[in-house]
Amino acid sequence: MKQKKKKPSRFARRLTWRIILIHTVTNLLVIVAVLLVMVVVTVTQNSLHYGAMMELTSNRLEMMLNSVEKPADFNATDIEEHIDSPEAIYNIMEKKLKESAYIMGYFSAFEPNTFSRYGRWFEPYVVKRDSVSIERMQLGSTSHDYFATDWYQKGLESDSIGLWTDPYYDNDGAHAIVCSYVVPVHNREGKAVGIFGADLPLDWLTEQIEQIEKSENKGIFTDSSNDEFNTYCFIIDRRGDYIVHPDSNTVLKKNFRTETEQTSSIRDDRVCEDMLQGGKGMKTMWQKDIFSFVYFAPIGHTGWSMAIVIPWKIMCGWGFAIGVCFLVIMGFGAIVIFFRCRHSIYKATKPLKFLNLQAQEVAKGHFDTKLPEIKHYDEIGQLRDSFEIMQKSLTQYMEQLKETTAMKASMESELRIAHDIQMAMLPKTFPPYPERSDIEIYGMLTPAKAVGGDLYDFYIRDEKLFFCIGDVSGKGVPASLVMAVTRSLFRNISAHVANPAHIVMTLNNALSENNDANMFVTMFVGVFDLTTGQLHYCNAGHDAPLIVSENDPSFFLTVDANLPVGAIPGTVFTSQETMLKAGTNIFLFTDGLSEAENERHEQFGEQRIIDITHTSSCQPQQLIEAMNLSVHAFVDGAEQSDDLTMLSIRYTRQEEEPQQGQCLVLHNDVQEVEKLSGFVEEVCEGAGVEMLTTMQINLAIEEAVVNVIDYAYPSGVQGDIRLCAIANKDTLTFVISDDGKPFDPTTRAEVDITLSAEERNIGGLGIHLVRNIMDTVSYERKDNQNVLTLIKQVKNEE
């Protein structure tokens, strides 16, 4: 798909915006810092201001209360002097009321029946209705039982100390909200017989608070109609009831504690508790859902507390105003800097535009394009010179690239040919033996590079399957050369030797010689007898094969820990053997399977190999294909790091019931040979073998028996030779066994019959004759016996 061409951007523009961005961010940081400082300074100044105002107001109220308390104390003394005259009490209170500016009324209240003519209740009260008129009243009655009031009881108990009552609405006397200061009255014996009090209307407190609110709400950031910009004051009594509040409907009708308990803010609760406990200071709270600063202080010894509430917008108003001014100034400065920078940067970067156009021509392959001249030798001038150097370097590089490309193409062609040659050396036709029903084989080799160092090979000789699998240390061309040598040596050595340990030892000695590269090969070599199911094998540092069958769990074959081939010359390798049942599959592999890694560097592992054998078919091709799919799914696209080789061999021979089975025992005496003719003819006749074939078989058996007589037992030692014949449907099998010394006639070299009798070495014609007559000749040493097996493929005359 054609890539969409990007729209070019200007370096000057990007640089200008970058400078403006840096300038803006710096200014913002400065503004934030200044704003924080101004807010802190504003809050500190306001704290000092409101703290001083609270102190001044508290002192003023304290003085006003003192102006009420002291006259009341003196008046109580005057009343005690005229305690016997009710009329004198009225006169004293009226006289003192005219002299007082703040007090609304005086009252006295006495114990029951203190004055008999007034009965149980006597509560004289004088009240100032306006600036000139004063009214006298006697308030005590059944409807106004002052004995049950809190102020009366506490006043009597206070001895000689006066106390202030909580504000209340006087319905009977003052007809207003008042708070009273009461002191006890004693008779001439010093007994408390009543109380004397002065009513102080709360109007004067309200006036004091309104004056404070008016003075604080004159600023440019205040607005009495908006709670967010309105400073207000309130006073609460010792119970938390509002005594003074801007909202007249709140006074004595609402409770500050109740209001704070209904909010979710803990700050509100703390402010309330501090005020009720007589504390002073500044805290924050959510008053009327507005975050505010609250300054509070107690009022004398009344138990009341006064508070001033300042919304945060008023508290921090000047700080934010200064921040806005800075922001406007910064915006104007940014605009000026933008246009100045734009002009200067465009002028300074103009040569880059011309240099860019010439560089595009160079990129198109026009290496001789002339670059613009730049007067100043700054970074742009140096960049121009660098482009000129690059032009010359590119010209040289293109010439070298042409040569390198040609060499690479030639090398890749040679590697492809080497790959084809390497793959041609391995068996690649499957099934390899379609005419046989006793063996199934399938193999796969996938090199990590063009050529690899893994190998596998197999072939059948004398009814034995010779096979191997190997992994050369290293990769690439060196490993492939060692692989080719190893495979050729295996074929040449195993053509004359049937013992896998001897094959491996010979391989090791050959590869160890002049091994300057210190390369070695891990190998597994097996010789499998297709007639008996017996496997002889030798392992040289390779992964153990897996034995797979349809009905039994898979398991790894037990192998000895031998060194790899080519590591140390003269190494002794051990041979092992096992029996394989029909239907058994030998699965061989290199570490490219077990150590395959995914992108998380997890290895495929032996357990996954076993698990796949449990779920896949035992057929060699299906098993290897399932294993290949699983390992590729596991690595999930990760690069192959090692050659991957697998070889699967399945033994499928089914045992047939022999038609005839006969044995003949001979002594190691030449005279015993004459018994062979009748025995062989009888076996062949029973198997329906034609006469000419019978004569050939008889000749081969006779040569093999005579060979045993001559070589198996030392001179003068008598021994037995056992000959057994088994006739099956298509084959005749003769097994010759003896207890003599080990002797393998199959190791004798082939006789060159093209030479004259004088030129040939003595001996060897007998085994040559046996090999030519019989289809299979094999030898093994088993249970301290020499066992020579001769097989002839026959066809019945029927």
DSSP conformation class of 227: G
Quickly list DSSP for 92-112: HHHHHHHH-SS--EEEEEE-T
Rg (CA), the chain: 61
Whose tokens are 């028996």? That residue is: 705
β-pairing verdict for 192-201 and 242-244: unpaired
What residue ranges in 380-463 does DSSP mark as E strands? 439-446, 454-461
Backbone angles phi, psi at 234, to 5 degrees: -150, 160
**Crossing angle (nearest 10°) for helices 476-494 and 379-425:** 10
Give the C-alpha separation, 160 to 117, whole Å: 28
223 or 794: which leads in pLDDT: 794
**Do 579 and 534 touch, CB atoms closer than 8 A?**
yes
pLDDT tier, 798 (very low <50, low <70, confident <90, very high otherwise):
very low
**Whether residue 694 has pLDDT greater than 80:** yes
Give the C-alpha separation, 183 to 159, whole Å: 8
106 or 64: which leads in pLDDT: 106
- Give the list of residues 6+ apart from residue 448 with CB closer than 8 angstroms, or none: 475, 592, 640, 641, 642, 643, 644
pLDDT of 409 reads 65
Give the C-alpha separation, 672 to 769, whole Å: 21
Per-residue tokens: 742: 């080990």
Average pLDDT over residues 98-109: 84
Whose tokens are 């070695």? That residue is: 520
Q: Quick one: which of 278, 195, 284 has its CA closest to 237?
A: 278
Q: What is the dihedral of CA 235, 240, 241, 244, to 10 degrees?
A: 0
pLDDT of 762 reads 47
Please state, for a pLDDT cut of 70, what percent of the chain lies above it: 86
Q: Is the CA virtual torsion 704, 709, 714, 717 positive or negative?
A: positive
267 or 605: which leads in pLDDT: 605
Beta bridge partners of 468: 457, 525
Exposed, middle or buried: residue 792 (CB in 10 Å: 0-12, 13-18, 19+)? buried
Per-residue tokens: 381: 């001038």
Give the C-alpha separation, 391 to 369, whole Å: 9
pLDDT tier, 796 (very low <50, low <70, confident <90, very high otherwise):
low
Residue type, 717: V
Q: What is the mean pLDDT of the chain?
A: 82
In Å, how far from its chain's centre is CA 714? 78
Q: Quick one: which of 128, 204, 200 has its CA closest to 168?
A: 200
Question: Per residue in 518-533, pLDDT tens?
Answer: 899 999 999 999 888 9
**Whether residue 305 has pLDDT greater than 80:** yes
**Do 651 and 583 touch, CB atoms closer than 8 A?**
yes
Give the C-alpha separation, 535 to 749, whole Å: 25
Question: Per residue in 362-415, pLDDT tens?
Answer: 777 666 677 767 666 666 777 777 777 777 777 777 778 777 776 776 666 665
**Crossing angle (nearest 10°) for helices 500-512 and 476-494:** 140
Residue 25 is inside which H or E element, if any? Answer: helix 11-81
**Whether residue 212 has pLDDT greater than 60:** yes
Give the C-alpha separation, 316 to 40, whole Å: 8
Exposed, middle or buried: residue 390 (CB in 10 Å: 0-12, 13-18, 19+)? middle
- Give the list of residues 6+ apart from residue 352 with CB closer than 8 angstroms, or none: 11, 380
Give the C-alpha separation, 322 to 303, whole Å: 42
CA-based diameter of the chain, in Å?
A: 182
Whose tokens are 């138990």? That residue is: 303
Whose tokens are 């696209």? That residue is: 637
Per-residue tokens: 30: 């400065």
β-pairing verdict for 546-548 and 464-472: unpaired
Give the C-alpha separation, 270 to 257, whole Å: 10
**Whether residue 283 has pLDDT greater than 80:** yes
Please state, for a pLDDT cut of 90, what percent of the chain lies above it: 23
Question: Per residue in 577-627, pLDDT tens?
Answer: 999 999 999 999 999 999 999 988 899 999 999 999 998 888 999 999 999
Long-range contacts from 702-705, C-beta under 8 angstroms, 24+ separation: 702/673, 702/676, 702/677, 703/766, 703/767, 703/769, 703/770, 704/736, 704/745, 704/766, 704/770, 704/788, 704/790, 705/666, 705/673, 705/676, 705/736
Instruction: Determine the straight-line distance between the first and last CA of the chain, rounded to whole angstroms.
Output: 74
- Alpha helices (H) along 561-663: 591-594, 605-615, 620-635
Kindly provide the b/e burial profile for residues 449-466, where b requires at least 16 CB atoms within 10 angstroms of the residue's own CB: ebbbbbbbbbebbbbbbb
Q: Is the CA virtual torsion 217, 223, 225, 228 positive or negative?
A: negative
Name which of 94-108, 181-195, 314-328, 600-614 the model is least confident about.
314-328
Q: What are the structural domain ranges in the chain?
A: 82-201, 207-217+231-310, 427-651, 660-793
Q: Quick one: which of 248, 391, 235 has its CA closest to 307?
A: 235
pLDDT of 1 reads 46
220 or 292: which leads in pLDDT: 292
Give the C-alpha separation, 384 to 393, whole Å: 14
Q: Quick one: which of 489, 478, 436, 479 has its CA closest to 460?
A: 436
Residue type, 650: R
Per-residue tokens: 748: 């004798």
Average pLDDT over residues 325-338: 76
**Crossing angle (nearest 10°) for helices 620-635 and 605-615:** 130
Give the C-alpha separation, 454 to 214, whole Å: 101
Give the C-alpha separation, 678 to 723, whole Å: 13
Give the C-alpha separation, 107 to 94, whole Å: 10
Q: Going by CATH, does the domain composed of 207-217+231-310 fall within 3.40.50.1100?
A: no
Question: Per residue in 465-505, pLDDT tens?
Answer: 999 999 998 877 888 888 889 999 999 999 888 899 999 99
**Do 132 and 116 touch, CB atoms closer than 8 A?**
no
Backbone angles phi, psi at 683, to 5 degrees: -65, -45
Per-residue tokens: 721: 């030779």
| Geometric angle at alpha carbon 105, from 101 and 109, rounded to 5° | 145
Question: Per residue in 695-714, pLDDT tens?
Answer: 999 999 999 999 888 888 88
pLDDT tier, 797 (very low <50, low <70, confident <90, very high otherwise):
very low
| Geometric angle at alpha carbon 192, from 186 and 193, rounded to 5° | 85
pLDDT of 341 reads 75
The fourth-level CATH superfamily of domain 427-651 is PPM-type phosphatase domain (3.60.40.10)
Question: Per residue in 28-54, pLDDT tens?
Answer: 787 777 777 777 777 777 777 777 777
Q: Quick one: which of 266, 272, 267, 270 has its CA closest to 254?
A: 272
Q: Which CATH number does the domain 660-793 belong to among 3.30.565.10, 3.20.20.10, 3.40.50.1370, 3.40.50.300?
A: 3.30.565.10
Give the C-alpha separation, 230 to 221, whole Å: 9
The fourth-level CATH superfamily of domain 82-201 is PAS domain (3.30.450.20)
Kindly provide the b/e burial profile for residues 392-420, where b requires at least 16 CB atoms within 10 angstroms of the residue's own CB: eeeeeeeeeeeeeeeeeeeeeeebeebbe
**Whether residue 111 has pLDDT greater than 80:** yes
Domains 82-201 and 660-793 share a fold: no
Give the C-alpha separation, 789 to 733, whole Å: 7
Residue type, 783: D
**Do 775 and 792 touch, CB atoms closer than 8 A?**
yes
